[in-house]
Structure 1
């Protein structure tokens, strides 16, 4: 046995050298193919780890041509595992052995494409265009241009100023090139041709070319092909920007519905945008239901438990603040404040919640507190356009146009396309323009008691100039009133000119006027109000030719001087207390003292209905008896009014409201029995924007004078208009 073995070995060694090598190579190739076949079988059965271990054991560096079957199986293994980086590297190794291997040339391009390096994939493909069809090359160009658009989206969200659009501008140029390639090849209706158009919608949205995005969408919709969810969401963003929230809402819903089979369903960003659409359409119940679901389903922490990569989930933080924002815009401000306090207690650095708290303070009529809140956000995030916009808006409310102008100059430089920036810029322009205010009314009383006669009317008109030197306006003031009494008509015509100064703490107004019915009757008016914070206001006023004079007294050539002091406490939009004390002296030697206390409380607040009550206590004392006008020796009134307000229609800053006011009270007059007072008033209010308002209505009142009940009806029209 030993002899035979030695003989065979010796015989093999005696063969020519080349022949021996060929024989060994043949045996090795047979073994390699067997290993490759076994590994391929493991891959096809999903046994990836066993297949990879077998291939790593069988492949030895440096690779030879005999290694090609194993390398091809390894490339297929990485493809099945979606390990595109190692797949592309394996094809590179194959191409080092066989540079013209068609399968490897194609595989490297597609693996490189799948791993996200689309620019490199196109470079490889253009080096060997003959191994690809024209349709495949167009697909690669479309995918590469689409990836550029995605990078543009990331830069637009994270960048500051106009530079954040640079990547999107380049991506739009690439997209246009790819569109042209498809048109030249008559492939515009191919899948890649249509996706080139869908990608363009996204890029146009990112570049804030919303009208172009909508126009392209409408064109594609007419072709009756399916539009993917990401394009629907992008065009929904465009419609929302164009103030068409109903259309945007429907498109977001369609995008979410059509993406139900996607791996990352539901897309949280789209849900938050749908939430914005619900807010803009005033569907607050739907918004609240949606955002509560998002908060419940979104983890607060990403990569939880992984040291070094565990981070707060920005989507969760935004959704938590949106829970409060729903209640802010639905006028459920107490609930919003409670929710924000809980959110900030758990996450004190949540910028979204802090911004929403600034918005809340604005709604609560606390502009100084809101401004401080926005400023604190700006310290931590200097690039926050929302915080800077909030500071500008509160500055307008506080009559601080210098600060508003400074903030808006920066915002217009960096974020001129931002809708909030545009809105506040519009507010600032309106604030700076001339201002017209008109208060008018007409009444009728069959009994003719009191100081209003049988029939009366009045129109009080103020026309302010544009803003001068940041704080000043000049104005003209015209007051016209007339009342018919049994014995005569009381007429008052007063014209004045003056100046008005306003700043965050002070409002000072001075006027010189003349009575047009008595040209020698000149007068001055001075008013000052000090508002040191968001809650307190102190007022003082003086008139030497007061319009509050009874018209019967004016008809008798009597003049009236008056001084008034006032103090008001504004807790927030739901509670207000004010007190006033006035002293008047008339030229007929009458001295009048008036005092009053008013309490306003909001008991119910919502997006559609609000319920307020106003309790008023007032009294007066007059020194003159038997005057030529209604002049009780002393009187006292206590009444309460219930104000019911419904918002019939609202779209952004425009709204249409109506109110029903019901009031009842008791009036005491010295020398006469007390009597009950009643008022029923119905009014409508049309807000064209925050600086143009029309208010009109009708009222019915019952009030005793000198022991006799007086009934009157009246209509009124009030106007506030920045010209």
Structure 2
């Protein structure tokens, strides 16, 4: 008998199998020793307590904890269910009542799970009694007692597990399924000894295929609500709480494990759930999933799926960190494994509402993974499947914000960055970010940087400045800055962005000076040096920038941003060998880098065939032509040998003059060679018509450095003669040279000389000088002032075309450029130019000249540009004032 005191006995029947209890057998089981009594004591008064009719039962000793499975009594309809009411079953029911009334009270009760068969659809479902509420045992002569156990209901050592403690006011951790009742249903009873149960009936999966190691499903009547099964101190996974604006997409509000690590195999359900979910949220999701699978009594199928999602989230996080720290071709292996695991989980989850929050969280994980993988379009597509009112982690929002910026969608990026920043600055941490909140994670200053660039890419300088102010206000005092960890470089990030903001808003010299000052304080910081080189390259000094990039790559050979910057500067400087080497080095290893994406875009445009055309139509300048139209088009091949292209060139013109109508068509084929500072172009041409002839055209340019460029050209069949000259069957040869000094993108001086010999022996010469200075720059506006001086001379006096012996012109032009629209790489700029000056023609005196011009310039993806506009001008020719209107269009189309 002493040995029997420590023995526990559990009566278990196979899953989904009905066992009919013979009355003598039940009496024998009840009357037999240790399974129903620990010490053989009998107390008649405790019979009613077991039946639930005499108040709350007393607590059992802590060292005598039974293995318990909840009892559920099936209630039958007045019409017997398919497997109901045999004489043996009725005898069994009667014998059980006798046994409950007469047998001694056991201190170590065995409780049996009763899994009912699916009742008729019209059967009502009564609510279960609270554990401390007395209720009569509801029995009908037609209702058999069924014994069943759900699949996987007990872990291997379940017979020795302690039970959780239930208070008088709390519901059981996972109440047993509600039994169907008859048309006049009596109250169902749920027995509960004082010693709480170790294995409450499992929370069942509502529908669909169960996940591996998950509890078996419990049948549910059609038209009846599912049973409530809240876990202690937790919300039902994914439930929308009253008054909540967003869908709850995660499980219990647990962020850390229990202070003292319990034995998860023997702890009560509440302790197990808190510790497992806390472990999962704090970086141990894989271990938490293993622990949860070992305790199917405490975790539903949805809980298991949720823990699998948190484990995948942990894989995504680790894979992202790996990809950021590596430069080899296998840097995405971890992310790829996480994506495969996410696909597998998604396929195994049933398409039922209770799994929707898990799918939402999984979509957030995939968004982070795809963005880290560089598959930005898929990241955006995945993110946009998430309901707008669902909880989304900060890292998922940040990732899709980066993807939107990458895809030139700064407006959408702006919205998600703002939402992420609101969540990041809220207290406590939002539930959806669990699993990303330990260790290095997306911080508010990183979100503000993304928000800053989203405003810059939209041309919203004022909003960008406000973000910088917020960033500065959020920084701790300098004396409190940590010298280790990610916070160490926060001030450096802030001052770098301030310098870049100055450059963007037109204060280029101040911005570059600020970067140089930062570089003196942190001379080996890669981000500062890359920003400095980018700024220099943007000032039309690509060769100087190339030297800076190469020097920095000596100290930072693994800097992807530095290498991409070198490639872009090399393209600008026509150093295609360097650009090709950069492209081969980067290969497809860094699709997630915005800098690499910018270089690849420009490099692919360079590698593409290109079509360019300039169209013009002029009306009203009768001294030259009453109406005229010209088209000048080139089609360039793909480059070969890094530096060579072949091209075809077609010029077409048509004019109406007082001497008659005239048209001119000239085609040619040639080659284009560009190698660093040298550019050479040559073509063989043929003009058509009665005056057609074969000729050639060539040009050469050489950049001495980033400031000085010299060029020259030669044409044996010039297209720029006056239209009346062509009408008189006159053609000409021409040559020109020029020198350009370009200090930066704000100041330029050009001097040129041209000479032409016409077939009528006229020698035409012209000299011109142009100086341009930007006088105002802001984020969206620029104002340039130009001064143009020129003089022409001709040797023939009686030519049939406008041919002054000598003339002079001086004009000043003010050009205002306004950015009307900006979206990442794309934009629309409006340019308005007004020009005024004087014109002097020998023999006809001095007169005023003026012009006004409106132009729209579009920039699209893949370096496609389109510009068009109109111009009105007034000019005196041989003392007669002429006014003309001109329309023009230019296209540059890589394809």
Normalised TM-score (structure 2)? 0.63
CA contact (8 A) 1:604 1:610 kept: yes
Secondary structure at 2:588's aligned position in 1? Answer: helix
| Counterpart for residue 406 of structure 1 | 581
Q: Structure 1 residues 595-604 or 391-400, which shifts more?
A: 391-400
Change (3 A) 1:286 1:474: same
Moved more, 453-462 or 598-607: 453-462
- Compared with structure 1, are the counterparts of its residues 343 and 262 closer, same or farther at alpha carbon in structure 2 (3 Å cutoff)? farther
Match of 1:610 among 758, 782, 786: 782
Partner residue of 2:631 out of 432, 452, 459: 459
Structure-1 residue corresponding to 2:214: none
Q: Deviations over 1:286-341 (max 9, x none)?
A: 122212332453359898687xx589823433333222333444455344323323
Give the aligned length: 627
Q: Following TM superposition, by how much is the alpha carbon of 1:242 offset from its aligned partner in structure 2, in angstroms? A: 4.2
Q: Given the alignment of the two structures, is residue 289 of structure 1 paired with residue 466 of structure 2, yes or no?
A: yes
Q: What pairs with 1:526-541 in structure 2 (closer than 5 Å)?
A: 526-541=698-713
1:160 aligns with 2:327: yes
Secondary structure at the residue paired with 2:686? strand
Deviation, structure 1 residue 225: 4.5
Cα offset, 1:607, TM superposition: 3.4
- SS in structure 2 at match of 1:386: helix
In 2: Cα distance, 1:576 partner to 1:84 partner: 67
Q: Distance in 2 between matches of 1:114 and 1:161?
A: 30
Residue correspondence of structure 1 range 388-467 to structure 2 within 5 A: 388-445=563-620, 448-449=622-623, 452-467=624-639
Query: Which residue of 1 is the match for residue 735 of structure 2?
Result: 563
2:337: which partner in 1?
Answer: 170
CA contact (8 A) 2:258 2:275 kept: no
Aligned partner of 2:744 among 533, 553, 572: 572
* Secondary structure of the corresponding residue to residue 545 of structure 1: coil
Specify the alignment match of 2:725 in structure 1.
553
Query: Does residue 1:368 correspond to 2:543, yes or no?
Result: yes
Residue 9 of structure 2 is matched in structure 1 by none
Distance 1:258 1:670, change over 3 A: same
CA distance in 2, matches of 1:233, 1:339: 28
Aligned positions of 1:204-219 closer than 5 A = 204-210=370-376, 213-219=379-385
**C-alpha contact (below 8 Å) 1:475/1:500 kept by paired residues:** yes
Are residues 215 and 476 of structure 1, via their aligned partners in 2, closer, same or farther at CA, if it must alter by over 3 Å?
A: closer
Give 3-state SS (helix, strand or coil) of 2:845's partner: coil
Shift of 1:219: 4.5
> Which residue is equivalent to 1:355?
530
**Structure with larger RCO (C-alpha < 8 A, sep 6+):** 2
Provide closer, same or farther for how the CA distance between residues 293 and 511 of structure 1 changes in structure 2, counting only shifts above 3 A.
same
Over alpha carbons, which structure has the higher Rg? 2
For residues 305 and 613 of structure 1, the distance between their equivalents in structure 2, rounded to whole angstroms, comes to 50
1:640 aligns with 2:816: no
| 1:614-693 equivalences in 2 (<5 Å) | 614-689=786-861, 691-693=863-865
Judged with a 3 Å threshold, the aligned counterparts in structure 2 of structure 1 residues 147 and 302 are, in CA distance, closer, same or farther, namely farther
The structure richer in strand per residue is 1
Residues 244, 594 of structure 1: alpha-carbon distance in 2 compared, 3 angstrom cutoff: closer
Give yes or no for contact 1:437–1:718 (8 Å, CA) kept in 2.
Answer: yes
Rate the CA distance shift 1:419–1:343 in 2: closer, same or farther, 3 A: closer
Q: Output the CA distance in 1 between the equivalents of 2:494 and 2:478.
A: 13
CA distance in 1, matches of 2:537, 2:850: 35
Q: Are the equivalent residues in 2 in contact too, given 1:653–1:688 (CA < 8 A)? A: yes
- In the TM superposition, residue 618 of structure 1 has moved relative to its aligned partner by 0.6
1:593-608 superposed matches below 5 A: 593-608=765-780
TM-score (norm 1): 0.77
Match of 1:276 among 453, 465, 471: 453
Give, in angstroms, the shift of residue 640 of structure 1: 1.0
Deviation readout 1:249-288 (Å, 9 max, x if unpaired): 2122122223411479972222222223223333222122
Aligned pairs for 1:575-590 within 5 A: 575-590=747-762
Moved more, 244-253 or 228-237: 228-237
Higher mean alpha-carbon deviation, 359-368 vs 205-214, is at: 205-214
Q: Who is 1:339 aligned against?
A: 514
Q: What residue ranges of structure 1 are gaps of 5+ in the alignment?
A: 1-81
Counterpart of 2:189 in structure 1 is none
Number of the residue aligned with 2:882: 710
Q: Is the 8 A contact 1:299 1:316 kept in 2?
A: no
**Structure 1 residue 513 corresponds to structure 2 residue 685:** yes
Match of 1:32 in 2: none
* Equivalent residues of 2:256, 2:281 under 8 A apart: no
The alpha-carbon distance between structure 1 residues 187 and 524, as it changes in their structure 2 partners (threshold 3 A), is closer
**Corresponding residue number in structure 1 for 2:416:** 251
Sort the Cα spacing of 1:374 and 1:510 in 2 relative to 1 into closer, same or farther, 3 A. Answer: same
| In structure 2, distance between residues paired with 1:179 and 1:690 | 36
Residues 412 and 421 in structure 1, CA contact (< 8 A), matched pair in contact too: no
Question: Contact (CA 8 Å) 1:253, 1:274: kept in 2 or not?
Answer: yes
Matched, 1:146 2:313: yes
